[in-house]
Amino acid sequence: MLPASAVAYLVPPPIEVPLASRRLGEAGTVWLRVRVGRDGLPQHIALHRSSGFERLDRQALDAMQRARFKPHVEDGVPIEWVVVAPLQYDLH
């Protein structure tokens, strides 16, 4: 398990507040547990802590699927790793 601060994205998750959420004033942080493969691709994504809004949670799960990570290397060998990553949804 790596801390979220140790994560480096090659392609960050595209965070987009859904239009219905924007209209309803829904905002918050979605925490996702992500298992990342040796190739830097998300292998398994699960909701760790909800934002309290189903639309934001679903968008976060979809966005994280499209993320690409810098592979984590130990002793010169890429390894699988797990992180709990926050995705912040603001209404700016």
pLDDT digits (tens, 9 = 90+) for 36-87: 999 999 999 999 999 999 999 999 999 999 999 999 899 999 999 999 999 9
SS3 12: coil
Which class is 4-89 in CATH? alpha beta
Alpha-carbon gap, residue 86 to 75, rounded angstroms = 28
Provide the CB-side half-sphere exposure for 33 (13 A, CA). Answer: 5
Nearest to 89 by CA among 41, 65, 54: 54
* Tokens of residue 68, six digits: 């690409």
| Domain regions of the chain by residue span | 4-89
Give pTM, 2 decimals: 0.91
Question: Could you give the CA distance from residue 59 to residue 32 in angstroms, rounded to a whole number?
Answer: 11
